[in-house]
Structure 1
Amino acid sequence: MVAQDFIVDLNKPLVFQVGHLGEAYQEWVHQPIVSKEGPRFFESDFWEFLTRTVWWAVPLIWLPVVCWCISMSIRMGHSLPQISLMVVSGIFIWTLLEYTLHRFLFHIETKSYWGNTIHYLLHGCHHKHPMDGLRLVFPPTATAVLCLPFWNLVQLMSTPSITPALFGGGLLGYVIYDVTHYYLHHGQPSSEVPRNLKKYHLNHHFRIQNQGFGITSSLWDKVFGTLPQSKAAKKSR
């Protein structure tokens, strides 16, 4: 059976099936299944457990780390105004990293067996099953692994006393991002700003999946020209 003829069995663990789709994977993964019941990824209960994360685990685990990092810079002699600037700068850096990862890594086009498999684990599963509430936030084990290169990146950009607070700000940006992402899928916002943000993000999932990469804001989509046009703007052309 050639790759284009392969059919994924949704009643079986998916991760080691999707690679067989080959070039057909991109079309398959961008046809969402709207169900709150997520698929099974692995036969192994252990590996399956690692792929499922409740949203509140993100602030519960990482906010204490944020506070500890900020306290390190305070103990090194920085004032509260200086700390505030470092934290805000860290959040700003995170927003650019959020956009960059989403656009250039999470939406990379793959067609090889392992390329499809890795992409599905990273982000493809979210586009295929966008309402899976246990796979909307990043698993803490994966976040912990990614913290090391992010810490090293911050070290290159700053001094030893600034690094902890700047890193803490970036980590706080990540927490805001992941909690916001969950809310945009499962929350029911009543005020205008979050309601527009929800509409903006769901537009990325269900209408124009190669634009609108911002989650917490549309800032970098505006800067880099990936802001989707509204339906009204298209009709007027």
Structure 2
Amino acid sequence: MSIRMDHTIPQVALMVAFGIFIWTLLEYTLHRFVFHIKTKRYWGNTIHYLLHGCHHKHPMDGLRLVFPPAATAILCVPFWNLIKFMSTPSTAPALFGGGLLGYVMYDVTHYYLHHGQPTGDVPKSLKKYHLNHHFRIQNKGFGITSALWDKVFGTLPSTKSADKSR
């Protein structure tokens, strides 16, 4: 749609990349401030458990690793409207497409980090980083697809070797 509205392929590629970049910040923010919110009341605890707590209680359960597609489709509507409001009509489709692609990459990556057997250095490191969040330091390491925002916001967990030297 953005190409049909007179943007060039390189421009659209840049907008899609920006949409992915924005998704990574949204991924980090949601995980840190919504999925790890401290609750004290029954309904807060129940909602938190249903949104994310059950995933931490059963991190290897394949049915608790990705957001249900129907719920994702419903949540796309307010995100689409927000992007339309914050951008121009010709850039909104590419930005939204990039954000949606970022979300799909997040879901696939998250599932793989729990159930895949990575052989390369980068996937192995990412799996170790994410499982560290689950099994060692749950109040750090909120990035799933990368540690970028944990580095930026100071929530990067220490390594075991750094812990031993203290």
Q: TM-score, normalised by structure 1?
A: 0.69
User: Whole-Å Cα distance in 1 between the matches of residues 25 and 143 of structure 2?
Assistant: 9
Q: Corresponding residue for 1:155?
A: 84
Structure 1 CA distance, aligned partners of 2:140 and 2:114? Answer: 18
How far apart are residue 181 of structure 1 and its match?
0.0
1:234 offset after TM fit, Å? Answer: 1.8
2:143 corresponding residue in structure 1: 214
Question: What is the CA-CA distance between 1:191 and the residue it aligns to?
Answer: 0.6
2:85 aligned with 1:180: no
Tell me the equivalent position of 2:55.
Answer: 126
Q: Could you tell me how far 1:142 is from its partner in structure 2?
A: 1.1
Stretches of structure 2 that go unaligned for 5 or more consecutive residues are none
More moved, 195-204 vs 75-84: 75-84
Please tell me whether residue 95 in structure 1 is matched to residue 21 in structure 2.
no
1:77 matched residue in structure 2? 6
Q: Which has the larger radius of gyration?
A: 1
Runs of 4 or more above 6 Å deviation:
none
What runs of 5+ residues in structure 1 fail to find an aligned partner?
A: 1-71
CA distance in 2, matches of 1:145, 1:119: 19
Partners of 1:226 and 1:79 lie apart in 2 by 38
Pairwise CA distance, 1:236 = 2.0
Residues 1:114 and 2:43 aligned together: yes
Q: Could you tell me which amino acid in structure 1 is paired with residue 78 of structure 2?
A: P
Distance across 2 between alignment mates of 1:140 and 1:231: 37
**Segment of structure 1 superposing worse, 202-211 or 141-150:** 141-150
Offset of residue 101 of structure 1: 0.1
After TM superposition, the structure 1 = structure 2 runs for residues 1-237 of structure 1, keeping only pairs within 5 Å, are: 72-237=1-166
- SS of equivalent to 1:96: helix
Please give the secondary structure, in 2, of the residue aligned with 1:75.
Answer: coil
**Structure 2 counterpart of 1:153, which letter?**
L
Give per-residue Cα distances to partners, 1:70-113, cap 9 Å, x unaligned.
xx111111110001000000000000000000000000011211
Q: CA deviation at 1:146?
A: 1.4
Residue 153 of structure 1: how far off its partner (Å): 2.2
Q: Distance in 2 between matches of 1:97 and 1:134?
A: 23
Provide the aligned length of Structure 1 versus Structure 2: 166
Residue type at the aligned position of 2:107: D
Partner Cα separation in structure 2 for residue 75 and residue 138 of structure 1: 32
- Alpha-carbon shift at residue 152 of structure 1 (Å): 2.2
Q: What is the RMSD computed on CA atoms of the aligned residues?
A: 0.9
Percent of paired sites with the same residue: 82
Distance 2:40 2:70 in 1: 27
| Whole-angstrom distance in 2 between the partners of 1:81 and 1:231 | 43
